[in-house]
Amino acid sequence: MKVDFGTEDNKLVNKEDKKPHDSVVAIFSRYDKEKTEIEYLVLSHKKYNQITFPIGKVKEDQSVAEAMLVENREELGVEVENYMELLQFQREYEVEGKTIPDKVHVFKVVKYNGDPKNVETEKHDWIKWMTRDQLEHTQRKLADCITRYFAWLDDINAPSLTKPQVTVGQGK
């Protein structure tokens, strides 16, 4: 699947965007008793002008799990204590006329320490908890990690979604 990130501004492209890579996505959820619904922690991403789950690239010297732990520390200021990988999917996007492959690893954060906050204000306009209904009815574009996660939850037969080799772990 080819992804449109919603920007043609080459100043927004960094060197990691130009190489094939793996990405990590973290899903933080909580049950809101008042709304009797599950809420998801999402961010408004400035670079791609969309709502996304916390997401980042795996650096060459990191494992996928390490990248997820570091990304959440840097982006949200939290220490993930327990997690599991739910799904993986392949995507590709265009950068300067080249097609770049990206393998996305989606993690469910089971337990974390700290209060999530918008640590990277240069990258994100805001951070907040939203229900699935709020996300699906927003006027803003949703990142593919959100739409694919909801498709996975609905058990839609999406051939590009694959079951991971179960990455489970404790943080730190």
84 contacts 108 by C-beta, under 8 angstroms: yes
Report, as an integer, the average pLDDT of 148-156: 84
Q: Which pLDDT band, with edges at 50, 70 and 90, does 10 fall under?
A: very low
Tally of CA atoms within 13 A in the half-sphere of 93 that contains its CB: 21
Query: Whole-angstrom distance between the N-terminal and C-terminal Cα of the chain?
Result: 34
Based on the structure, what is the number of domains in the chain? 1
Helices and strands (DSSP H and E) totals, the chain: 3, 11
104 contacts 25 by C-beta, under 8 angstroms: yes
Q: What percentage of the chain reaches a pLDDT higher than 90?
A: 65
CATH number at residue 137: 3.90.79.10
Query: What is the distance between the alpha carbons of residues 168 and 85, in angstroms, rounded to a whole number?
Result: 6
Q: Determine the length of the chain.
A: 172
Each residue of 153-167: pLDDT tens digit? Answer: 887 555 555 555 555
Q: Which pLDDT band, with edges at 50, 70 and 90, does 7 fall under?
A: very low
What is the per-residue pLDDT for 20?
87
102-137 as b/e, with b when 16 or more CB fall inside 10 Å? bebbbbbbeebeeebebebeeebeebebbebebbee
Each residue of 16-72: pLDDT tens digit? Answer: 777 889 999 999 999 988 878 999 999 999 988 999 999 999 998 999 999 999 999
Each residue of 119-131: pLDDT tens digit? Answer: 999 999 999 999 9
116 contacts 77 by C-beta, under 8 angstroms: yes
What is the per-residue pLDDT for 165?
55
Domain that holds residue 123: 2-170
What H or E segment, with its residue span, contains residue 94? Answer: strand 79-95
